[in-house]
Structure 1
Amino acid sequence: MDAAQFTAAVKLAVLFSGIFLWTGMLTGVWKYWQIRQSVQSRAHYYVDIAHRSSLLYAPASLILAVLAYFSAFSAWLNLLCVAINLVFFSFSILSYALHGWLQDTSNQFKTPHRLGAKMTLPNWMMTGAMLLLIAGEVGATALLLLGTGWNFYA
């Protein structure tokens, strides 16, 4: 198969699948290093979450690529749906890694929402971010799924 035959949405999703896999491997090294340094033989909670989520977002991105490939919708709409998911996947991994680096919390939803030793985030910001994430990921994936179903049964 020639890569030129794939749309930008498919290519982007496949690329990010590899990026997330690689990030999972790198955070796995970080996790192992923290386990080796810890008296309890454990990594920080959010280092573990960053590692696991990266590895889970890698195949999720491949599923997005397949849905975009089979979607009956326009190339730009499929690209938008894939990009929305990838932005939120990336944001999640980065926020987990940041909390793991700062070692500032074991629950980012516990109030006050800590960011480092001195900074806190307002409740509205966390709520807004989560609502955007939910609407973005669920809505964009629903559109890709609808486009795929439309293609198969139209």
Structure 2
Amino acid sequence: MNIWNYPARSRRSKHWALRSTNGRNAVSPRPNGTAHPYVDTAHRAALMYSFATTLIAVFIELSGWPSAVNFIAANTIVFMFAVTIGNYTRLGLREETDNQMRNPPTTMRFVLVALVCR
């Protein structure tokens, strides 16, 4: 009796899903055992942004700007990263859309414009 659904060499192979004996998914309510696309995007963005934040720390260390300017610039970027990951997670948990630009809430319009103009 195999309780782990782990298909080899498939697109969903990185998503572990515990299956019960009747074949229903015991971990996630999604029938195919995968995360919502925006939850997957949030995971990927968090990994990429963590690497980018490490590079920003190195660049700030080598920067000739005053410490206050470096501090404000770095925290602004990290804040935008956190808001973006939070928005991806929110969209994934709600499972309302697969395209955040289709109908963005009014509270996120500023953030979306700032991300595009960045």
Same fold (TM over 0.5): yes
Paired residues of 2:17 and 2:33 also in contact (CA < 8 A): no
- When Rg is computed on C-alpha atoms for both structures, the one with the higher figure is 2
Paired residues of 2:16 and 2:33 also in contact (CA < 8 A): no
Q: How far off its partner does 1:131 sit?
A: 2.4
Corresponding residue of 2:77: 85
Deviations 1:113-135 (A, max 9, x none): 3xxxxxxx24x952x32222344
Change (3 A) 1:51 1:32: farther
Aligned residues with identical type, % of pairs: 25
Q: How far off its partner does 1:101 sit?
A: 1.1
Q: Is the aligned partner of 1:129 residue 2:111?
A: yes
Change (3 A) 1:60 1:33: farther
Q: Which has the higher helix share?
A: 1
Residues 24-63 of structure 1 correspond to what in structure 2 (within 5 A)?
A: 32=16, 37=28, 38-63=30-55
Deviations 1:41-77 (A, max 9, x none): 3210110011100011111000000000000000000
| Residue ranges of structure 2 left out of the alignment (5+ in a row) | 1-14, 19-24
C-alpha distance in structure 2 between counterparts of 1:94 and 1:125, whole Å: 11
Query: How many residues are matched?
Result: 96
Which of 60, 65, 80 does residue 57 from structure 2 map onto? 65
Q: Higher relative contact order by CA 8 Å / sep ≥ 6: 1 or 2? A: 1
Q: Secondary structure of the residue that 1:41 maps to in structure 2?
A: coil
C-alpha distance in structure 2 between counterparts of 1:33 and 1:97, whole Å: 19
